Amino acid sequence: MAVQLNSNLEFIVMIALAVILLIPLGYGVISSAASNDTQPFLEKPDEKYDKCVRDTEYMRLNHMDLLKSIRDEVIHEGKKAEVKLKDCRECHMSRERFCDKCHNVVNLQPNCFGCHYYP
């Protein structure tokens, strides 16, 4: 009987824990579905170039990995840069209207701009 009680209690505690852990996630999903405010509005790139160095979907998810791999090639291997952060600036001219839009939503403060000039 004592054993039975214990495992019941364990089960309840686990469910409660799972619910508590999922609250922030659920809150995020509900609130972002409820309003469009958190959807970043990205500035349209300049007309000068007709496309980005990679397709939009790739850039949206992996731009940081691309930048890091270019960094490794340039700094560690001494190769020429395929693209530099300052080239991104050619189209996406404002950090506030481009980079920060998404970074703010996901609450990220990348430290690129401490060194790299991006107004």
Residues that bind another protein (CB under 8 A): 68, 71, 74-78, 80, 86, 111, 114-117
Tell me how far, at minimum, the Cβ of 86 lies from another protein, in Å. 6
Label residues 18-45 b or e (16+ Cβ within 10 Å = b): eeeeeeeeeeeeeeeeeeeeeebeeeeb
Q: How far is CA 27 from the centre of its chain?
A: 18
Tell me how far, at minimum, the Cβ of 94 lies from another protein, in Å. 14
Nearest to 48 by CA among 17, 8, 91: 91
Tell me how far, at minimum, the Cβ of 71 lies from another protein, in Å. 7
Instruction: Please say which residue, 51 or 76, places its beta carbon nearer to another protein.
Output: 76
Instruction: Please say which residue, 24 or 78, places its beta carbon nearer to another protein.
Output: 78
Instruction: Please say which residue, 24 or 114, places its beta carbon nearer to another protein.
Output: 114
Contact between residue 46 and residue 90 where contact means Cβ atoms under 8 Å apart: yes
Tell me how far, at minimum, the Cβ of 80 lies from another protein, in Å. 6
Instruction: Please say which residue, 48 or 80, places its beta carbon nearer to another protein.
Output: 80
Q: How far is CA 57 from CA 25, 37, 62, 94, in A?
A: 24, 21, 8, 20
